[in-house]
Amino acid sequence: MRSRRWRVGELASATGTTVRALHHYEEAGLLAAAERTSGDHRLYDEAGVERLYRIRALRGLGMSLEEIKKAIEDGSILADLLRTHLNRVELEVDRIVRLRDRLRSITQSGKQVSADDLLATLDAMSCVERHVHARRRKKKANDSDVESQWRILADQLRACMSGGERPSSKRTIALASQARSLMKSFADGDAEVLSALARLRIADPPRDLAGWTPDLIRYLDRALAALDKHLTTKLEP
Amino acid sequence: MRSRRWRVGELASATGTTVRALHHYEEAGLLAAAERTSGDHRLYDEAGVERLYRIRALRGLGMSLEEIKKAIEDGSILADLLRTHLNRVELEVDRIVRLRDRLRSITQSGKQVSADDLLATLDAMSCVERHVHARRRKKKANDSDVESQWRILADQLRACMSGGERPSSKRTIALASQARSLMKSFADGDAEVLSALARLRIADPPRDLAGWTPDLIRYLDRALAALDKHLTTKLEP
DNA sequence: ATACAACCTCACGTCACGTGAGGTTCAAGC
DNA sequence: GCTTGAACCTCACGTGACGTGAGGTTGTAT
């Protein structure tokens, strides 16, 4: 029972990547060939194809290769990643359609193009590019600050949970709001994708920080839901 | 009559770019502030906003900053660039909708995801990213080869034009086909955008190559149109 | 005067590859 | 078996559009 195999050029061409990228992923410890021929040619299998999809999807979500490396060993379910990816693509469709509509309106109006038109167009353009920005912002700056904030937040949230406070209590909601702020700084405001990433245990809160146990994360999820409900109620026009 | 002014941070924030990028564009000779305050703060005007739009739109079309610098001094009409940009965005909408539809179909099917599904998804993903690839491919490799090919092609096409051949003659169409191949290698197959870029005198054929006069470019345009008509007639099922 | 945000220039660093060099392997055709 | 050319290998320098931080000045509000 010999399963399918792809040489590096075949895989690159079938997936629209490059041989160089596949080499690079192997060097980076992300994706090794299933085997080598006697002549040392790489042969990838179906598991490799799936792994390549994971790599490229997570990269599209703004993660660096180093982060992808960590995330990809999680044994997360492919279907979850597909859903997260789809959510992200839906957002991108919305953004680019918005830009298209703006450009259509400008080019069809026959009037002189105003500076405000161009400013708004430029802003829409940067929204389309936003995922690239998010990737590049993931630098070391203030990592220790962010980590200590997460740790403090975990302590406070655990006190609420241990003390039997409902996720919708005033205090818990305030902490959830803080958590949201921290999370926003990671993924540039895409709250919906963020919560999906959190479920994938990829995004903040960092998994390797003491205190952020699965039950605490679930508690935070419920607090975030309560926060959303609270905000919706409060903001009804 | 004092027109509007933006400080660098205001412009960056209104357009979704960064202060650093605006600094960089100034260094690169792409976009200078209209004036400076007594404290040396930059002040941009409406012409600067327009120029920033041009820069970002051309960058989105895959050009390097150096190429943008050349292109932007052409005195081309803003409306033409807006149209070209819109054409490009329409293509991008198509591509990302295709990817979204594929992801929807996979996540909703409830069946095991096959390697072929993933291969096709990865390919669709790379189509979405295609403009980034085109930018990165503009390297020195084979520039002299490409230039000589363009030169030879110009000579041959001029012979047809001077000899009074219609753009739809067999020989002219064959040359147009060759031109299309050369153009494809530049912009990764986006023929529609390519012809728009050619009209903007941005893309190939290179403007600084002897022989590619405006009348010859117009002749090529007509030959390309005749080629398209010829192909459509030939390929009718 | 003080405080803080926004600004200035300078300059090293980034990251996911691109590119080319120099060589080997593979497969098809004769 | 030999030849040819495409596909493959490893190695390693280079890339480009900024990101980031340092150290200082300017502008505005209190």
Cβ distance A100 to B79 less than 8 Å, yes or no, reads: no
Cβ distance B16 to A122 less than 8 Å, yes or no, reads: yes
The pLDDT assigned to B181 comes to 67
Average pLDDT over residues A115-132: 86
Q: Fold for domain B143-235?
A: Globin-like (1.10.490)
The pLDDT assigned to B32 comes to 95
What residues does each domain of chain B span? 6-72, 78-136, 143-235
The radius of gyration of chain B from alpha carbons, rounded to an integer in Å, stands at 22
The pLDDT assigned to A192 comes to 43
Q: Does A49 touch chain B (CB under 8 A)?
A: yes
The pLDDT assigned to A236 comes to 39
Which residues sit opposite B81 in a β-bridge? none
With CA atoms as reference, report the closest residue to B8 among B27, B29, B36, B28: B36
Q: Which residue of B has its CA nearest to A101?
A: B86
Q: Is the ipTM of this complex over 0.85?
A: no
CATH code of B6-72, in short, is 1.10.1660.10
Beta-carbon-side half-sphere exposure of residue A71 (alpha carbons within 13 Å): 27
DSSP state of B135: H
Residue A122 or A161, more confident: A122
Most confident of A59-63, A155-159, B36-40, B166-170: B36-40
Q: Does B83 touch chain A (CB under 8 A)?
A: yes
Least confident segment among B89-98, B158-167, B169-178, B187-196: B187-196
| Contact indicator for B84, B193 with CB cutoff of 8 Å | yes
The pLDDT assigned to B139 comes to 33
Q: Does B159 touch chain A (CB under 8 A)?
A: no
With CA atoms as reference, report the closest residue to A138 among A216, A206, A39: A206
pLDDT value at A31 more than 80: yes
The pLDDT assigned to B151 comes to 67
Q: For strand D, list residues 44-63 of chain A whose Cβ lies within 7 Å of it.
A: none
Q: Does A21 touch chain B (CB under 8 A)?
A: no
Cβ distance A16 to B90 less than 8 Å, yes or no, reads: no
Least confident segment among A233-237, B4-8, B30-34, B54-58: A233-237
Cβ-based contacts of A115 with chain B (< 8 Å): 4, 46, 49-50
B38 touches strand D (CB under 7 A): yes
Cβ-based contacts of B90 with chain A (< 8 Å): 100
What gap in Å lies between CA B22 and CA B30, rounded to an integer? 9
Residue A51 or A148, more confident: A51
Closest nucleotide to B138, Cα to C1': C18
What gap in Å lies between CA B81 and CA B203, rounded to an integer? 13
For an interface test with A, give the residue of B49, B98, B127 to mutate (most A CBs within 10 A): B49
Average pLDDT over residues B86-106: 93
pLDDT digits (tens, 9 = 90+) for B38-78: 999 999 999 999 999 999 999 988 888 988 988 887 677 88
Which are the contacts of B66, defined by CB distance < 8 A and separation ≥ 6? B28
CA of A41 to C1' of C24 (A): 10
The pLDDT assigned to A166 comes to 83
pLDDT digits (tens, 9 = 90+) for A56-95: 999 988 888 988 988 887 677 888 889 889 988 998 999 9
CA of A30 to C1' of C14 (A): 20
Q: Does B131 touch chain A (CB under 8 A)?
A: no
Cβ-based contacts of A136 with chain B (< 8 Å): none
Please provide the DSSP assignment of A205-231 as one string. SPTTSTT--HHHHHHHHHHHHHHHHHH
A222 touches strand C (CB under 7 A): no
pLDDT digits (tens, 9 = 90+) for B73-92: 767 788 888 988 998 899 89
Q: Does A159 touch chain B (CB under 8 A)?
A: no
